[in-house]
Amino acid sequence: MTTPSALPYFEDLGHGLTAIDTGFERPLFDASHLVVEGGRAAFVDVGTNYSVPGLLAVLAHKGLAPEAVDWVALTHVHLDHAGGAGEIMRHLPRARLLVHPRGARHMIDPSALMAGASEVYGEDVVRATYGELVPVPRERVVEAPEGFAFELAGRAFHCLDTPGHARHHICIWDEASRSWFTGDTFGLAYREFRSPRGTFIIPTTTPVQFEPEALKASIDRLVARQPEAMLLTHFTRVTEVERLAADLVAQLDALTAMARAADGPGDRQRRLEEGVAEIFLGRAREHGSPLTEAEARRLLDLDIRLNAQGLGLWLARPQR
């Protein structure tokens, strides 16, 4: 839908769900989801500090005050999902922050999170991209382990511990829409790659906790609930769940086989980047992507580099 210039792009998905473009990286790259039920509201993932004004603007556009927000739920604490959590909590006086137990301490004291991101991207880039991370008061943080359930005006949600992309990752089941908020567990579905064959999806193997067998098990657990849709952060609602799950698993197997073959002395990072690019661009061609090879490579460049880094770290682990 087209929105007024004062608002970010957003889409109403039905069932009181709205996907909001956080403005991170490029249009239709990174989504926050607003849930509205009985005059109460929740955000699932929030983008960066720079996303916060837009999220609050859509909330107001829906006729809701900041006091109507009861929950800010994070699938995990990577900064494109959670970087703005502390900042938005300053504007939502009644909200509690829901996060995996492994991620809670990073929301209360984000210094280690900032340091880890700086190691991957560089400190100057992190500060320019995400801003200063704002701590969340401990008393406002709610830990969500496996099986944790919560409600929004009687609407039921259920949390699943879903490692593989990160060990501090949860997916959140929304009973009303029979959908999962999947964060990065169910991959990335960039709209530019859609074709007459439907949605194009790729997995993410980014640093630093990529674990392929755990990720495949997490995908299987999501599919077992027979959801009607998956609500991805990159970028929002997808259906065709079983086909997309099979695509993700096949690509994970291809990526790990490629990484093992690329291991060894010399410029391993270059070999891994070339291998990731070959797999992703080949899948895009097979899918009938409308993009040229150069356009596809440009849009996937960041993913290719980060996924190669994650595969390199995975190769360095003795237990892999």
User: What is residue 42's three-state secondary structure?
Assistant: strand
Mean pLDDT over the full length of the chain: 96
User: What is residue 17's three-state secondary structure?
Assistant: strand
Could you tell me the pLDDT band of residue 4, with boundaries at 50, 70 and 90?
A: very low
Residue 319 has pLDDT above 80, yes or no: no
Tell which residue, 30, 23, 208, has the closest CA to residue 118: 208
Q: Around Cβ 127, how many Cβ atoms within 10 Å?
A: 15
Helix (H) or strand (E) holding 268: helix 268-287
pLDDT recorded at residue 45: 99
Could you tell me the pLDDT band of residue 234, with boundaries at 50, 70 and 90?
A: very high
Residue 129 one-letter amino acid: T
Does the CA dihedral 187-192-193-195 come out positive or negative?
positive
pLDDT tens digits for range 66-123: 999 999 999 999 999 999 999 999 999 999 999 999 999 999 999 998 888 888 778 8
Is the Cβ–Cβ distance between 156 and 149 less than 8 Å? yes
Q: Rounded CA gap, 28 and 189, in Å?
A: 10
pLDDT tens digits for range 287-313: 999 999 999 999 999 999 999 999 999
pLDDT tens digits for range 122-160: 888 888 999 899 999 999 999 999 999 999 999 999 999
Q: How far is CA 81 from CA 32, 37, 182, in A?
A: 8, 22, 11
Residue 3 has pLDDT above 80, yes or no: no
Q: Rounded CA gap, 6 and 123, in Å?
A: 31
pLDDT recorded at residue 11: 98
Residue 166 has pLDDT above 60, yes or no: yes
pLDDT tens digits for range 245-275: 999 999 999 999 999 999 999 999 999 999 9
Q: Give mean pLDDT, residues 164-184.
A: 98
Beta strands in the chain (DSSP E): 10-14, 17-21, 31-37, 40-44, 69-73, 96-99, 141-143, 149-152, 155-161, 170-174, 179-183, 229-232, 236-238
Could you tell me the pLDDT band of residue 1, with boundaries at 50, 70 and 90?
A: very low
